[in-house]
Amino acid sequence: MITLQEYRTERKEAISLIKGFWLAHNQYQQSNEEAARDLTVWTSEGHKFYFILSASEKVGFIHLGNRGGKIDWLEDFFVLPEHQRKGIGTQAIALIEKIVRTYSVSLYIEAAARNEAAIRLYRRLGFDCLNTITIRKDFPEYQYDVVRNEHIYGEEFEIRKSKI
């Protein structure tokens, strides 16, 4: 059974999970100081940070934020790799939906276009309304592989991932 625990003072555990998040998502080895700065922002006013617990073990986190309104943006979401593909993420999102539903009519989430697994998960969980589209311009020195091409409003866009 999965539960959520709002962050209070579990700094060391939160920092460890935040470092794992950046390593898994960007292959970036974050320092303790950088992770502590993220934690400070992610637990400041207008944000909420929840641990994802499986049998009372902290196996991930959810960071909610606001963008000028209610705290209804699922900004960052992470489950430790060894606990993925066990339904933990699905259960955690359902729990956060229950929380956000008490004060907002929507839950927003962003995913990198190249993160097909996340997009498929979110779609399966009922996220079916395109809200915003982020478009990026890469400069010539950027090294990337094209994952796929997509069309929106008759325009073609590349979904890219870094070679580095």
| pLDDT tens sequence across 87-138 | 999 999 999 999 999 999 999 998 888 888 889 999 999 999 988 888 888 8
Domain presence at residue 68: yes
Distance, CA of 53 to CA of 83 (rounded, Å): 11
Which tokens belong to 6? 């709002």
Taking alpha carbons only, the member of 76, 89, 83 closest to residue 59 is: 83
- pLDDT tens, 36-57? 999 999 999 999 999 999 999 9
Domains identified in the chain, total number:
1
* Confidence band, pLDDT 50/70/90 cuts, at residue 79: very high
* Confidence band, pLDDT 50/70/90 cuts, at residue 77: very high
Query: 53 is in which domain, residue-wise?
Result: 2-130
Q: Is the pLDDT of residue 76 over 70?
A: yes
The contacts of residue 138 (CB under 8 Å, 6+ apart) are 144, 160
Domain presence at residue 116: yes
**Percentage with pLDDT > 90 across the chain:** 70
Instruction: Specify the pLDDT at position 41.
Output: 97
Q: Is the pLDDT of residue 163 over 80?
A: no
Indicate the average pLDDT of the chain.
92
Domain presence at residue 124: yes
pTM, full prediction = 0.87
Domain presence at residue 82: yes
Domain presence at residue 147: no
Domain presence at residue 32: yes
CA-CA distances (angstroms) from residue 99 to 26, 53, 86, 93, 103?
A: 29, 16, 22, 10, 8
Instruction: Specify the pLDDT at position 164.
Output: 66
Domain presence at residue 164: no
Distance, CA of 39 to CA of 42 (rounded, Å): 5
Instruction: Specify the pLDDT at position 5.
Output: 97
CATH of residue 88: 3.40.630.30
Domain presence at residue 158: no
* Confidence band, pLDDT 50/70/90 cuts, at residue 10: very high
